[in-house]
A and B are shown apart, each in its own frame.
Chain A
């Protein structure tokens, strides 16, 4: 066991620390709450051999380590966000001691308080739109095509119908984003996920994050269901509620 540091997961307001009792942190140490005025930094002690500069640099190269840490980090943030307004920190925000956590929260008090007010009573929903994989384009090349010209015509028609399908799917994705943005209080477009990471081979047309008032969540879900029913050129995946990762933002003081 090397020196100890503190891993900061999130900043909350009005969180009952008791709800964290059964939640695991990234390491063996229990979660603690560092209070600065009405802000609460949720931290746990970590071994600086693992979470110090050198440790992080080598650990961030290991997908198993990254996945475990990312999931633990997210689990802590989820637990906080279920009970109180929560501003999630980026993964691996590390301080040398609790004094340093306190100093940083004091320094960033105003923007953190503002971020918490922005997300209070609201949820982040994720809506992803994929192109529906089009069936194999029918090319009658075997039997019917008897001339080079007909062959080229068939090729051209196939390319044309692919393009039309793509354009239809893009329009549908824009419609989804437009209708859901109208219900949400804020919208962010995340980078389309790489098929290697998402495990879905279809093209991702929209990776939207929507901040929704908790009381509007049923209306949001209904709208998603209506879009799913009416738009057949696309596949829609909706997930949530997420903690407001995409919406609790501060400018570095």
Chain B
């Protein structure tokens, strides 16, 4: 774990690193892992780390980072916007509730 988690990069103005100029600051861990785990030349070493292990590893890293405490510590609240997760469900539930209330109101009015 990094000692002090970096503040999450906010989508702000687009960033461009000029040619011949190193990106300032450390590359994001995601970018480094994208490359050193998923890319690069694969030739057999004497010690074999099964590629499946590495697949597993990236999943594990995700799970690890995703643990709510850790994510909150990093200021990440992505799940609130992820349609696959609770955000959308809440929205749908809320919408259902509102529709039910309207229906009840209409039914009450029309007796």
Contact = CB atoms under 8 A, between A and B. Distances in A.
A171 interface: no
Interface string B19-62: 11001001111111111111111111111110001100100111
A73 B36 contact: yes
Contacts of B76: 195-196, 199, 201
Of A11, A57, A245, most B-chain CB atoms within 10 Å: A245
Contact of B48 (A53, A195, A228, A250): A53
B110 interface: no
A31 B46 CA distance: 19
Interface residues on A, range: 35 or more
Nearest to B54: A60
Nearest to B6: A199
B36 A236 contact: no
Contacts of A246: 35, 39
B30 A201 contact: no
Contacts of B7: 199
Interface residues on B, range: 35 or more
B11 A200 contact: yes
Given A63-B1, A63-B65, A90-B37, A51 B47 contact: yes
A25 to B, nearest CB: 14
Query: What DSSP secondary structure best describes chain A's contact surface?
Result: mixed
Contacts, number: 194
Interface string A29-66: 00000000000000000001001110011001101101
Given A88-B40, A249-B41, A201 B46 contact: no
A148 B19 contact: no
B53 to A, nearest CB: 7
Of A70, A95, A115, most B-chain CB atoms within 10 Å: A70
Contacts of A161: none
A151 B102 contact: yes
A78 to B, nearest CB: 8
Nearest to A202: B11
Contacts of B62: 194, 196-197
Given A90-B37, A190-B38, A195-B76, A237 B15 contact: yes
Contacts of A201: 8, 11, 76-78, 81
Contacts of A115: 41
Given A240-B23, A245-B39, 10 more contacts: A53-B47, A63-B61, A70-B32, A90-B39, A104-B44, A104-B45, A196-B66, A197-B61, A250-B43, A253-B43
Interface of B: 1-2, 6-12, 14-20, 23, 26-49, 53-54, 57, 60-62, 64-66, 71, 74, 76-78, 81-82, 95, 98-99, 102-103, 106
25 contacts: A8-B45, A53-B47, A63-B1, A67-B1, A73-B36, A74-B27, A74-B35, A88-B41, A89-B43, A90-B37, A108-B43, A126-B31, A151-B98, A190-B39, A193-B31, A193-B34, A196-B62, A197-B28, A197-B33, A201-B76, A201-B81, A235-B11, A248-B41, A250-B41, A252-B44
A-B pairs, 8 with minimum CB distance: A199-B8, A217-B19, A197-B30, A245-B35, A94-B47, A90-B40, A195-B78, A228-B14
